[in-house]
């Protein structure tokens, strides 16, 4: 008998979230970002929900190959480009669009001389300072790429550091528009936060990731209230034990929690080896929320490898076998993330392979189909 923990990936929610992107950026084509195995959801599991996209953005060649195996014929963008000269022929074999962010990549193209035409997205560093050519070097990089017979279309690309925070993006847009002025070609700038909050940055292509999965770019659920996003992943388990505590009794490793009154606590089959954040440990002012039989309560004591404990005060009828939602519908993943000092992105990406996962399919939203690997 398997442990009761399981995750569900909701394809209709993902399709809904893509529609939210379309409503916000009606004039732009969409690169649906599915790096990190679709932010932990599984490329094969999310694919049907994202069929309506214009292209997919990802990092690993094997993810691109998976997409082609699924039958996707449209554009695929390698967001970091390629890493070695041997990768260049694969760009043609799998018809991949590639980011080009440094002279070394231009050099690899010059040496490999693929037949082409290759679609490239030339990356401009407008202040993020991770990838991209400095504005002063951008025109020369563009001219060098333009001169290569193997290069077809060149899209101008940059990435924002503060589309979800007070500093904003005006300084980066200005740097982008200055560096690309008088160069032909489309532009691709916006991550999820810019899709939601910076229409001036939408341009020809947008590159949303996290909102397709229903979480907030800021890590705060309140910031996307009313936007219409739906959670794409839910994580469920059950109570496997109940304990009655007396005042002074402690819970779990390190005795991090001490009961100050008679309490009932429930033990949930879910721990950090399932991907639940150990930092959500129930102490301090932020205790991670949990639903038990649909009632919101919170963690007590340290999260251990395979179990965590919850206060059953708000749910007096709970018993062994009661259903537990760790995140998903009714309990935003961002709320759990916030109590753990992180963002929803990190939790969804960390869902452990040992958690059995089913898919609520597009055609029958209420039924969960068997595991898609
Ligand atoms: C990950 C990534 C995105 C998507 O970011 P979100 O914040 O998840 O929308 C967009 N562009 C690039 C280059 C990325 O690496």
CATH number at residue 329: 2.40.37.10
Longest dimension (CA), the chain: 77
Same domain, 171 and 247: no
pLDDT at 283: 54
Using the predicted structure, report yes or no on whether residue 364 has a pLDDT greater than 60: no
Q: pLDDT at position 371, please?
A: 46
3-state secondary structure of 197: helix
Residue 250: per-residue pLDDT: 96
* Residue nearest to ligand 1 atom 1, measured at CA: 209
CA angle 69, 75, 81 (to 5 degrees): 95
**Is 208 a pocket residue for ligand 1 (Cβ < 6 Å)?**
yes
Give the residue numbers spanning the domain of 113. 11-222
Does residue 298 share a domain with residue 213? Answer: no
- Pair (126, 263) in one structural domain: no
103 and 153 both lie in a single domain? yes
Helix residue spans in the chain (DSSP H): 11-24, 35-39, 43-46, 61-69, 88-93, 103-112, 135-146, 170-180, 192-197, 333-339, 344-349
- For 230-258, the pLDDT digits (tens) are 999 999 999 999 999 999 999 999 999 99
Per-residue pLDDT tens digits for 258-267? 999 999 999 9
CA 318 to ligand 1 centroid distance, Å: 41
Q: Whose CA is nearest to atom 15 of ligand 1?
A: 79
Nearest CA to ligand 1 atom 6: 209
Say if ligand 1 is within 6 A of residue 332 CB: no
- Ligand 1: residue of 25, 58, 79, 130 to mutate (most ligand atoms within 8 A of CB) is 79
Average pLDDT rounded to a whole number, residues 18-41 = 98
Q: Are residues 322 and 199 in the same domain?
A: no
Distance CA 84, CA 256 (A): 49
Q: Which of 160, 81, 80, 165 is nearest to 126 (CA)?
A: 160
Kindly give the number of the ligand 1 atom that is closest to the alpha carbon of 79: 13
Q: Does residue 254 contact residue 232 with C-beta atoms inside 8 Å?
A: no
For 142, the token pair is 């563009």
Q: Is the CB of 49 under 6 A from ligand 1?
A: no
From the number of C-beta atoms within 10 Å of its C-beta (0-12, 13-18, 19+), residue 299 rates as buried
Identify the CA nearest to 300 among candidates 237, 371, 245, 352. 245
Pair 169, 248 in one domain: no
pTM score, whole prediction: 0.94
For 66-108, write each residue's pLDDT tens digit. Answer: 999 999 999 999 999 999 999 999 999 999 999 999 999 999 9
**Mean pLDDT over residues 320-333, rounded?**
97
Two structure tokens written together for 349: 């990406």
Q: How far is the CA of 207 from the centre of ligand 1 (A)?
A: 6
Give yes or no: 94 in active site. no
One domain for residues 269 and 166: no
Task: Judge if 260 and 145 occupy the same domain.
Answer: no
In a domain? residue 206: yes
Q: In the chain, count of helices (H) and strands (E)? A: 11, 19
**Residue 223's pLDDT is what?**
96
What length does the chain have?
373
Do residue 250 and residue 189 come from a single domain?
A: no
CB of 159 within 6 A of ligand 1: the answer is: yes
Q: Give the per-residue pLDDT at 366.
A: 47
Distance from residue 246's CA to the centre of ligand 1 (Å): 49
Q: What's the gap in Å between 209 CA and the centre of ligand 1?
A: 5
List, as residue ranges, the binding site for substrate. 130, 305
Residue 118: strand pairing partners:
151
35 is catalytic: yes
* 309 and 331 co-located in one domain: yes
Number of domains in the chain: 2
Domain assignment present for 5: no
Last residue of a domain, one of 222, 241, 261: 222
Higher pLDDT, 323 or 281: 323
Q: Do both 33 and 175 map to the same domain?
A: yes
pLDDT value at 319 more than 60:
yes
**What string of H, E and C letters represents the secondary structure of 126-142?**
CCCCCCCECHHHHHHHH
pLDDT score at 373: 41
Given a cut of 90, whether residue 328 has pLDDT beyond it is yes
- CATH number (domain holding residue 95): 3.20.20.10
CB atoms within 10 A of CB 214: 29
CA nearest neighbour of 40 among 259, 343, 295, 317: 343
Query: Is residue 257 a part of any domain in this protein?
Result: yes
27 shares its domain with 161? yes
């Amino acid at each position: 008998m398997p442990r009761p923990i399981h995750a569900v990936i909701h394809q209709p929610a993902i399709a809904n979230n893509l529609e939210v992107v379309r409503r916000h950026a009606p004039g732009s084509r969409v690169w649906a970002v599915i790096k990190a195995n679709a932010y932990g959801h599984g490329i094969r599991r999310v694919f049907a929900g994202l069929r309506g996209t214009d292209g997919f953005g990802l990092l690993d060649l094997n993810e691109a190959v998976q997409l082609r195996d699924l039958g996707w014929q449209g554009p695929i963008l390698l967001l970091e480009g390629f890493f070695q000269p041997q990768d260049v022929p694969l760009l043609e074999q799998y018809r991949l669009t590639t980011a080009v962010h440094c002279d070394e990549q231009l050099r690899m193209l010059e040496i490999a001389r693929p037949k082409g035409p290759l679609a490239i997205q030339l990356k401009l560093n407008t202040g993020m300072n991770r990838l991209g050519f400095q504005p002063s070097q951008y025109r020369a990089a563009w001219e060098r790429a333009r001169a290569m017979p193997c290069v077809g279309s060149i899209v101008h690309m940059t990435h924002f550091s503060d589309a979800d925070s007070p500093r904003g993006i005006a300084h980066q847009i200005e740097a982008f528009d200055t560096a690309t002025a008088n160069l032909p070609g489309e532009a691709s700038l916006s991550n999820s936060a810019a899709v939601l909050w910076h229409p001036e940055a939408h341009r020809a292509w947008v590159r949303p990731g996290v909102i397709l999965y229903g979480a907030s770019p800021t890590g705060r659920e309140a910031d996307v209230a009313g936007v219409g996003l739906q959670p794409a992943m839910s994580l469920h388990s059950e109570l496997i034990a109940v304990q009655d505590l007396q005042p002074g009794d402690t819970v779990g490793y390190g005795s991090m929690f001490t009961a100050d009154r008679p309490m009932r606590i429930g033990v949930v089959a879910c721990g950090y080896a399932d991907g639940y954040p150990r930092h959500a440990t129930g102490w301090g002012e932020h205790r991670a929320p949990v639903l038990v039989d649909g009632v919101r309560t919170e963690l007590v004591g340290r999260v251990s490898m395979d179990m965590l404990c919850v206060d059953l005060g708000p749910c007096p009828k709970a018993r062994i076998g009661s259903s537990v939602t760790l995140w998903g519908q009714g309990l935003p993943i961002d709320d759990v993330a916030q109590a753990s000092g992180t963002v929803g992105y990190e939790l969804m990406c960390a869902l452990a392979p040992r958690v059995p996962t089913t898919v609520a399919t597009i055609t029958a939203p209420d039924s969960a189909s068997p595991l898609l690997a």
